[in-house]
Amino acid sequence: MEIRALRCFVEVVRRQSFTAAAEALFVTQPTVSKMIRNLEDELGMALLNRDIGHRKRRVAPTEAGRRVLARAQEILASQRALEDDLQALGDLRHGELTVGIPPLGATQFTAALSSFHQQWPGVELKLLESGSRELEKALRAEELECAVMLAPVAPDLDSISICDYPLCLVAPTNSPWAARQTVPLADLAGEPFLLYGESFKLNEVIHRACARLGFTPEIACRSSQWEFIAAMVEYGMGIALLPEQYCRRLDAAHFTIRPLVKPEIRWSLALAWRREAHRSRALDAWLDTVRQHLPES
């Protein structure tokens, strides 16, 4: 049963004329007659009473025709509603966008999130906060449309570079490194480390760097919140390696903050999405917004 045939039938009944229906639908009268005839043949019963006594052949629905008319109007209304919904999605009046953001790096997107919401308030932003490892799994499982993760990203993903900062040593004020200008990573062997949550890929980067120098970090505690890590450092629980950007927010009077060298470890973030996946209109708008608000990108 074709939508086009139902539309012809509804129009014929509404205008009580094949000719008037054809004019309203911008088709020929024989086309309308053929569509109605095919519909009747498909259903196996007459839908219209043709009043051949009138010159213009007025028509009226049969009992079966009245039932078909009611259902056809519902179907056509549903089709219009679906078209309106899809148009709204295309215009970003409605919809949703799922984005993965790690706790360490979330503040990079505050301005972009605010701008996106102001431009498209009908699009609901659903944020999943976790470390890079878990976010990449969720992205590949199609639970997210895009995700922020540690760079470099896998070759099968497309991405935008977000930021790139070196890690710095953060230690208590009375630490032995207070008189140093820089601190080699090897000098931290044997110190209690305050590292990140298990889902953070940055842990792997730190572990690999330490392994190349012949030691394994002694972990005192883990946390996904950099402020909490800094607070534990201040209270003497251990040392931390924080991105330079976050070190700038700390009160230098309460910490020893020094550049980490030999090797320098960098914290680089990228916004990634699946290259082969369909990019929704909302995702395209989000990527444009990110590019506008992050100079590093």
Tell me, what's the pLDDT at 297? 42
Q: Could you tell me if 180 and 108 lie in one domain?
A: no
DSSP reduced 3-state for 189? coil
Q: Could you tell me if 18 and 79 lie in one domain?
A: yes
Q: Could you tell me if 174 and 242 lie in one domain?
A: yes
Band (203; pLDDT cuts 50, 70, 90): very high
Q: Could you tell me if 171 and 262 lie in one domain?
A: yes
Burial of 155 (0-12, 13-18, 19+ CB in 10 A): exposed
Closest CA to 198 of 103, 269, 127, 105: 103
Where do we find the tokens 């082969």?
276
- Cα 291 to Cα 11, 151, 287, 296, 297: the distances in Å are 50, 17, 6, 9, 6
Q: Could you tell me if 284 and 143 lie in one domain?
A: yes
Dig out the tokens for 202 from the structure. Answer: 């940055």
Final residue before a domain boundary, out of 70, 90, 110: 90
What are 270's strand-pairing partners? 149, 161
Mean pLDDT of the chain: 89
Indicate if the pLDDT at residue 262 is higher than 90: yes
Final residue before a domain boundary, out of 54, 75, 90: 90
CATH number, domain containing residue 107 = 3.40.190.10
How confident is the model over 151-171, as a mean pLDDT?
Answer: 95
Q: Could you tell me if 145 and 130 lie in one domain?
A: yes
Dig out the tokens for 169 from the structure. Answer: 């040593």
Q: Could you tell me if 171 and 154 lie in one domain?
A: no
Cβ–Cβ < 8 Å for 129, 102: yes
Final residue before a domain boundary, out of 67, 90, 113: 90
Could you give the number of structural domains in the chain?
3
77-91 pLDDT per residue, tens: 887 777 656 665 566
How far apart, in whole angstroms, are the C-alpha atoms of residue 197 and residue 280?
31
C-alpha atoms less than 13 angstroms from C-alpha of 165 in its C-beta half-sphere = 19
Q: Could you tell me if 207 and 80 lie in one domain?
A: no
Band (76; pLDDT cuts 50, 70, 90): confident
Residue 147's domain comprises: 95-161+269-293
Tell me, what's the pLDDT at 95? 80
Share of the chain above pLDDT 90, in %: 57
CATH number, domain containing residue 81 = 1.10.10.10
Higher pLDDT residue, 192 or 279?
192
Closest CA to 251 of 231, 267, 266: 231
